[in-house]
Chain A
Amino acid sequence: MSGYLLNRLGQALFVLWAAFTISFVLLQAMPGDAILIKFQNPELGLNPQQIAEIRASYAADSAIWVQYIQTIGRFLTGNFGYSVQVGVPVSTMLAAHLPATLKLASLGFLLAAVLAVVIAFLSSLTPFAWLRGAIQSVPSLFISIPTFWLGIMLIQIFSFRLKLVPVINPGPWQELILPVITLAVPISAPLAQVLVRNIDDVLTRPFVAVARAKGATRHWVLLRHVAKNALLPTLTIAGVLFGELIAGAVVTETVFGLNGIGGLTGRAVGSQDAAVLQAIVVLSALAFVTINLIVDLLFPVLDPRLRTKAGATA
């Protein structure tokens, strides 16, 4: 068991390192950089020598591998550097923008999970074939809706037409309602599809027939036998979908003008603020790796078959 844990931790660290290195190389490979974008502006009236001095103060022209070692050293001590564009520490910027995104992402994911479970179990419980077909086509519909379009449509309908959710000065929770729905819909679709397929699969297993032969009702069997067996493989998909969640949050925050990591990313890309982007990539990778590590460690807890290892292998 401890060998398994160490192995998974090692893999997680490798993924983090790879994400850091790849993003570092890509950011370096881009033509121009944040310093040029900010200080070459003619209105500032800086001469080339002054710009060179500024560049030297940021150590922007030292060898790439020196910068790489320095940056990785700083990251390991929790120092993400300074934003060139704004001139404040990156950690301060992240601290300011992270809570909004965390709230949006966790609520969005929660709603997605609820939607998926509701769709899957409704379709399994319904006695009518036509209704079942209709419910099962919902995920395909959800997955084909673009996030930005859904966001705009929700604002149009609920805020402007029905005036249910205010757009001007909404409360801290009110402002989250539409973004959370926007984010949840596309995430819920693959979850629901996997869950529906798993439920169908589990329903054909002999132990379900045995449970029915005991006199259990359909609902009893679905809740006490099928649910856990069907949810287990879905958990893996949920971990992987977390990546989608981060990507979806960027678009959603932009559409709804939320002040989160998504908005920050957008601005940092515009000004090639490498320090900020580097920190965001590493942070996202850390979140992704952590979630998937938790999922992997959760499996042996939920599935007794994974707790004891089989003996010999042939």
Chain B
Amino acid sequence: MSGSNVPHPPVLEVENLSIAYHDGTAHRGVVHEISFRIDPGEVVALVGESGSGKTTTAQSIIGLLHANGRIDGGSIRLNGTDISRWSDRQLDAVRGAKISLIPQDPASSLNPVKTIGAQVGEILRIHGVASGRDLEAQVISLLERVGLSEPALRARQYPHELSGGMRQRVLIAIAVALKPQLIIADEPTSALDVTVQKRILDLIDELRTEYGTSVLLVTHDLGVAADRADRLVVLQGGRVQETGATKVVLAAPRSAYTRQLIADAPSFSAVVRKAPGTARAVPAASDNDVVIVDGLVQDFVRMDGNGKSFRAVDDLSFRVRRGTTHAIVGESGSGKTTTIRAIVGFQKPTAGRIEIDGTDLSELRGETLRQFRRKIQLVYQNPYGSLDPRQTVFDIVSEPLLNFGRLARPARDEKVRAILSRVGLPEAALDRRPHALSGGQRQRVAIARALVLDPDVVVLDEAVSALDVTVQARILDLLDELQRDLGLTYLFVSHDLAVVRQISDTVSVLKDGRLVDGGSVEDVFERPGSDYTRELINAIPGQKRAALV
């Protein structure tokens, strides 16, 4: 949007910046001599995977590095003045006024015990811009400006009374309150649903244009960066791999790493991992349906005691053929998790029938229900929380075997080793504990644990959502390979339509507990049957590039 012919000096110039963390005597460099600049009104995206140093860089610019982080060299020039060695007191005048922050996780980024109004008003009060009635009026007009309904009511509410998207709007209101020159948006939408994500990014764009603010967009999502940024800075291992105009970098990436990132980003991928109906010959006969959900209804009794119940899933029906992947798609609160909890037998449905491999779940009680769980296994979203940190990989993977039948130790050993090598983990990982593994390795352990019982159906609950794109791509490859070799049926729960499109054969789109769209992936994506599905598809980031290529 703005080129180098603009006469203004850059808002921000980072030059040869190096940052290290000091833990006692250890000294760990995380950012190595990186340089980039942001011109007035420009959006620059800092793109990289976890550990690339992108967040550390962003923190250093606003002077909020962790206590053990230190700038070892280089400069950060704001309007030509080097602020990298400024004291906290000097920076306090800059923070909020000249540089502001839109944080990653709206759920934890607002003080839970203060009202929205107090937290928005705080930035005006700190910088002595307004007080009293004037302050209240400004707070309400800011809340209105970021698109919150009933701003006067919102000002009196507490964060927990607002949805994630609304909270992020509040945080944006705080960030733009003093019309700063630079906004650092640190993964501003990665914790939000895809349609909310699009609206929030649109809002940031709109305010940026209106106020002429520059934005440093920190993101792991190349799709988001492609849609929103004028220029990209690609980071890996604390070093700049590539920098340039977004169009140029995406069309003709110079570094191998950027090429890899583009290839692995699901939203760019033209590759459909499986061509439905061709990879496996799926018999047309419906007697080969391994999962049958028929008229599922799930009510929950509200806890506030007035006896009213809440319907989480409403008359949901779908069938999944053996050896295929069925995706359940929806935003938070759509009933995806409730549905799969009913399917794996963790809760009794209020009404409706669930049949897994010919067994009606409602007939199972106690021990028969426990035995049934062999057939259907879960892989959870968070590879950090779903593994017991005190168990070794061997213990984790062999535990299901101990729960079902008494396999002799040597046979168990062999089985665990076989399954671990099947999911691509080295033999040496057997004795390690989860903390010694990377996120991708942990998810491989979780997959091994699910497969060790030879299940028919594997439920993948957002199983790749927490992973970096390159890791995600490898795990998706693995899942595909396992499905082909072992004839597994997957129930793939996800909010990420780009991934769903890549790996699923059929899909159910849920909204407020109801099925709004369903059928084969091509049908649903090419000819969506509902406005909601269309909105979901349009919200997938990275479409700007798709239009370019």
Chain B residue nearest to A303 (CB atoms) is B113
Minimum distance in angstroms from A227 CB to a CB of chain B: 10
Minimum distance in angstroms from B113 CB to a CB of chain A: 5
- Selecting from B69-77, B298-306, B382-390, the interface stretch reads B298-306
B248 close to A (CB within 8 Å) = no
Chain B residue nearest to A202 (CB atoms) is B111
- Selecting from B99-107, B230-238, B523-531, the interface stretch reads B99-107
Q: A206-B104, A207-B112, A215-B93 are in contact. List 19 more A-B contacts (CB 8 A).
A: A206-B108, A207-B110, A209-B101, A209-B103, A213-B101, A215-B92, A215-B95, A215-B123, A216-B96, A216-B122, A229-B111, A229-B113, A302-B113, A304-B158, A310-B303, A312-B301, A313-B303, A314-B312, A314-B341
**CB-contact partner of B126 in A210, A216, A232, A313, under 8 A:** A216
A308 close to B (CB within 8 Å) = yes
Chain B residue nearest to A217 (CB atoms) is B92
B521 close to A (CB within 8 Å) = no
CB neighbours (8 Å) of A302 from chain B are 113
Measuring CB to CB, which residues of chain B are less than 8 angstroms from any residue of chain A? 62, 64, 88-89, 92-97, 99-101, 103-105, 108-114, 122-123, 126-127, 158, 160-161, 171, 174, 300-305, 310, 312, 337-338, 341, 347
A212 close to B (CB within 8 Å) = yes
A309 close to B (CB within 8 Å) = yes
Minimum distance in angstroms from A32 CB to a CB of chain B: 52
CB neighbours (8 Å) of B64 from chain A are 209, 212-213
**Chain A 260-314 residues near chain B, CB threshold 8 A:** 302-305, 308-314
Q: In the complex the two chains form, is A210's CB within 8 Å of B112's CB? A: no
**CB-contact partner of A213 in B89, B96, B110, B341, under 8 A:** B96
**Chain A 184-225 residues near chain B, CB threshold 8 A:** 205-207, 209-218, 220, 224-225
Q: In the complex the two chains form, is B92's CB within 8 Å of A213's CB? A: no
A97 close to B (CB within 8 Å) = no
Residue with the highest number of chain A CB atoms closer than 10 Å, among B108, B337, B341: B108
In the bound complex, CA of A216 to CA of B124 (Å): 11
Q: In the complex the two chains form, is B312's CB within 8 Å of A210's CB? A: no
Given contacts A211-B122, A310-B303, A313-B303, contact A304 B341 (CB under 8 A): no
**CB-contact partner of A207 in B109, B160, B304, under 8 A:** B109
The number of A-B residue pairs with CB atoms under 8 Å apart is 101
CB neighbours (8 Å) of A209 from chain B are 64, 101, 103, 109
Chain A residue nearest to B305 (CB atoms) is A3
Measuring CB to CB, which residues of chain A are less than 8 angstroms from any residue of chain B? 3, 205-207, 209-218, 220, 224-225, 228-229, 232, 302-305, 308-314
Given contacts A206-B105, A313-B303, contact A228 B113 (CB under 8 A): yes
Q: In the complex the two chains form, is B303's CB within 8 Å of A210's CB? A: no
The 9 closest A-B pairs by CB, nearest first: A215-B96, A213-B101, A312-B300, A304-B158, A214-B123, A312-B310, A214-B96, A215-B95, A206-B109
In the bound complex, CA of A215 to CA of B174 (Å): 11
In the bound complex, CA of A310 to CA of B301 (Å): 11
Q: In the complex the two chains form, is B88's CB within 8 Å of A217's CB? A: yes
Chain A residue nearest to B108 (CB atoms) is A206
In the bound complex, CA of A215 to CA of B303 (Å): 40
CB neighbours (8 Å) of A215 from chain B are 92-97, 123, 126-127
**CB-contact partner of A308 in B95, B114, B161, B171, under 8 A:** B161
Q: In the complex the two chains form, is A312's CB within 8 Å of B113's CB? A: no
CB neighbours (8 Å) of A314 from chain B are 300, 312, 337-338, 341, 347
In the bound complex, CA of A305 to CA of B157 (Å): 11
In the bound complex, CA of A214 to CA of B103 (Å): 12
CB neighbours (8 Å) of A207 from chain B are 108-112
Q: In the complex the two chains form, is B112's CB within 8 Å of A304's CB? A: yes
In the bound complex, CA of A302 to CA of B122 (Å): 20
CB neighbours (8 Å) of B104 from chain A are 206
Q: What are 11 A-B contacts defined by CB distance under 8 Å?
A: A206-B103, A210-B171, A211-B111, A214-B96, A215-B126, A215-B127, A216-B126, A217-B89, A309-B304, A310-B303, A311-B310
Minimum distance in angstroms from A55 CB to a CB of chain B: 54
Given contacts A218-B88, A220-B126, contact A213 B95 (CB under 8 A): yes
Minimum distance in angstroms from A204 CB to a CB of chain B: 9
Chain B residue nearest to A232 (CB atoms) is B113
Q: In the complex the two chains form, is A212's CB within 8 Å of B112's CB? A: no
Chain A residue nearest to B115 (CB atoms) is A304
CB neighbours (8 Å) of B338 from chain A are 314
In the bound complex, CA of A305 to CA of B113 (Å): 7
Q: In the complex the two chains form, is A305's CB within 8 Å of B112's CB? A: yes
